[in-house]
Amino acid sequence: PPKDLMITTATTNNTIYGIDGKELTLQCKVKTGIPRGHLVWIHNGQTLQDSQSGILNYTFKPKKKDHLSQYTCKTLSSTLDLPLFQTVTLVVYYAPRVFLKKKESQMKITEGQSLTIRCNAEALPEPTNFTWTKMNKLISALPTLYIDGVNRKDTGRYTCTAMNLIGIGNIETDVVVFYPPDVTIKYKNYTEGVQTKTLSCYGNGIPDTYTFYDWEHTSDYGDHIRFLNGSTNGSLLLPNSNGNAIEYQNNGYYKCTVSNGIPDIYGVTKQSSEVFLYVQGKPIFVHDNVARIYGEYRKTVSIDVNIYSNPKYTDFGIFDGNGNRLTYGTNIKIIEETRSVLASFHGSVVRVKGYKITFNLEMMTQEYFTDYIFKVTNNFGQSQHRTTIIRASSPSLPLNVTVLPISNGARIRWIRNFDGGFHQTFFIEYHLKDHNNWMTTQSKNSTNSPKISWTFTNLHPGYLYVFRMFSRNRIGNSNKTEEVVVKIPVKTKADSIQSLYTIVVSGSSSVGFILMIAVTIYVIKRFCRTQHQIEVHHGTRQINNIECGPYDEIDEQEMEENLASNNETETVIDSDYEEPCNLLHTNRDSDYNQKSISLSSSVRSEETDENETLAKNICINAYENLTDNRDQPLPYDLIV
């Protein structure tokens, strides 16, 4: 019978080695008997090859999928109770199969972020080397590609390569870096009269779908002039003006703003760029020039002339009212400087780069108080500006002066008149009717309104006062207005109650508390007096016996006489000292009229036509009067 079956290409541990894609021969031998046996190769239950000879070879190209599969050589003979066989395991070596952790052919990332791509490989034996390359340039020698802070230059195709003893394997991936657009503007400077004036804005970013926003027009110094609507593709067509009069107003910076939805490293999605559009035309006398100026006799007068000119002017001349050009000399001097000037561009007053020319006239005499024409010329035309120098004077007297008597004071109203060419200040003079000693108060109003008012307080009720006004500037005083005589009204009891109410409402909480105590005491006293009278006249009932102290001993009629003799008594709280003060009646006998009267005036300026005297002021002033006149206390001072 057959014997000694063996697979000659197998190792001692019944393993056979092959390489993926390369031919491999499996050889099986057996010593044949009589009759001859039958040799076969079997794989996965299927017969691959058979023979009746003593040697059987099976040649094939193993694949990676054949790795660790088993192959059996068997001999069959009628003389054997059991067949002879041997099984081997096939080990297939293969080159790396490379793949990415993220199965994407394209990696999308935003500029500024970190990029990580992990390269994996399946191979036998294990890969000994990994590389990352971009356009055949080595980027990394590690399985993982890491780029910290990706920028737009990192866009491209990357290749990962793995290597072992059998061969190499690789895989490619495209990295797409999203980034906000770089903005460029194409344009041409132009001169006045050009009909088509276009600026074109372009964005260069990924993705390349853009949103264009309104253009902004600003001055040389960044002052906003206007917004302009462009087209959806980024073009801006400047509107044509009617004639060339305002073409110069198109000078300045033009900013285009674009977005593709991708933020920059600062988180800003809108990107912009600006260019300066230079429009050539004739010179212009800009916004901050004056038509007239005031000067003083035999003093120096300076006129500032502000010009905007692209290109710079070539000639500047000054002419008198008769058209004669002035020559610069001893008393006529010109100073020129480049500086910012105020100009009106498309309705906005902005700073632009211009020229300031200062025209100085020294030792002004009468013939120099006249008109002057300034002419400026460049290659594109000429412009002119007229200024009149007017001889300054003292101001005109105030108009429509009225004096309105108010409680303890007077309110003066007037209308400002011509100031003579310089800042004017108003003064109010006043005195008691029987005195000729004028007191003067300066009105410190800062308003520019033509109607002005000023309020006096602490004037003596029942007295006649005389008022008049004048105005003053650096040249001198105006004439004085006509005298106005008014009588300061005397407060009634109703006015006193109203004043107390005003103080309670507007004063501090401590004032209100003290007044409440005073009112409470008064009510208790009146109640006690009523009780006392009831007790005397009726004597049959005794009710609510309240301890009233010495108040019960004061006769009501006597108290009423005291009240009548004192015109008004008012308790007020001074805001600084928080002490009560009495607004004492002023004795009007002849001896008192000959005393010096303090006319403390006051007060407070009013920016509008109406003003009101504060209760606080009444209290403060009354308290000051009280402290100056303590020689003759009223009977009320004894009631404690």
For residue 140, give Cα distances in angstroms to 46, 173, 188, 207. 49, 15, 48, 28
Helix (H) or strand (E) holding 501: helix 493-506
Q: What mean pLDDT value characterizes the chain?
A: 81
Output DSSP code: residue 33.
Answer: -
Please write down the HEC assignment for all residues of 183-202.
EEEECCCEECCCCCCEEEEE
For residue 592, pLDDT beyond 80: no
Neighbour-count burial for 551-562, b at 16+ CB within 10 Å, e otherwise: beeeeeeebeee
pLDDT for position 227: 98
Mean of pLDDT values over 292-306:
94
236-290 residue pLDDT tens? 999 877 656 688 999 999 999 999 999 998 999 999 999 999 999 999 999 889 9
Q: Which residues, at least 6 apart from 173, have a Cβ–Cβ distance to it below 8 Å?
A: 100, 104, 105, 106, 107, 117, 157, 158, 160
For residue 620, pLDDT beyond 60: no
pLDDT top residue among 596 and 375: 375
Q: What confidence tier does 634 reach under pLDDT thresholds 50, 70, 90?
A: very low
User: What is residue 253's three-state secondary structure?
Assistant: strand
Q: Which residues, at least 6 apart from 465, have a Cβ–Cβ distance to it below 8 Å?
A: 410, 430, 431, 432, 433, 459, 485, 486, 487, 488
Of 570, 572, 574, residue with least CA distance to 584: 570
Using an 8 Å Cβ cutoff, are 496 and 570 in contact?
Answer: yes
Q: Which residues pair with 159 in a beta bridge?
A: 133, 172
For residue 534, pLDDT beyond 90: no
Out of 102-111, 222-231, 334-343, least confident range: 102-111
* Identity of residue 75: T
pLDDT for position 501: 52
Q: Which tokens sit at 247?
A: 């073409």
Q: Which of 43-57, 84-98, 539-553 has the highest mean pLDDT?
A: 84-98
Using an 8 Å Cβ cutoff, are 31 and 24 in contact?
Answer: no
DSSP codes joined into one string, 277-318: E-EE---EE-SS--SEEEE-TTS-EEEEEEEE-SS--SEEEE
Packing angle of the helix pair 615-628, 493-506 (nearest 10 deg): 110
23 vs 59: CA distance, rounded Å: 7
pLDDT for position 609: 39
251 vs 187: CA distance, rounded Å: 13
pLDDT for position 519: 76
pLDDT for position 318: 96
For residue 418, pLDDT beyond 70: yes
110-165 residue pLDDT tens? 999 999 999 999 999 999 999 999 999 999 999 999 999 999 999 999 999 999 99
497-517 residue pLDDT tens? 655 555 445 455 555 667 777
451 vs 607: CA distance, rounded Å: 9
Taking the C-alpha atoms of 44, 46, 51 and 57 in order, what is their torsion angle to the nearest 10 degrees? -40
Mean of pLDDT values over 529-546:
40
498 vs 400: CA distance, rounded Å: 32
Domains along the chain with CATH numbers:
3-94 (2.60.40.10), 101-178 (2.60.40.10), 187-280 (2.60.40.10), 284-390 (2.60.40.10), 399-487 (2.60.40.10), 493-638 (no CATH)
Using an 8 Å Cβ cutoff, are 52 and 2 in contact?
Answer: no
For residue 481, give Cα distances in angstroms to 402, 404, 429, 466, 609. 11, 16, 10, 12, 19
User: What is residue 527's three-state secondary structure?
Assistant: helix
User: What is residue 547's three-state secondary structure?
Assistant: coil
Q: Which residues, at least 6 apart from 153, have a Cβ–Cβ distance to it below 8 Å?
A: none
Q: Which tokens sit at 326?
A: 């002035």
pLDDT for position 446: 72
- Cα angle, residue 491 at apex, residues 488 and 496 outer, rounded to 5°: 150
pLDDT for position 575: 29
Alpha carbons within 13 angstroms on the beta-carbon side of residue 518 total 14
Using an 8 Å Cβ cutoff, are 425 and 474 in contact?
Answer: no
18-27 residue pLDDT tens? 999 999 999 9
* Identity of residue 409: G
User: What is residue 27's three-state secondary structure?
Assistant: strand
545-574 residue pLDDT tens? 333 333 333 343 333 333 333 333 332 323
Q: Which tokens sit at 188?
A: 């041409």
Can you list the positions of beta strands (E) in 101-189?
106-110, 115-124, 129-134, 137-140, 144-147, 156-163, 168-186
pLDDT for position 38: 84
Q: What is the pTM of this model?
A: 0.60
Using an 8 Å Cβ cutoff, are 77 and 30 in contact?
Answer: no
pLDDT for position 299: 92
What does the radius of gyration of the chain's CA atoms come to, in whole angstroms? 55
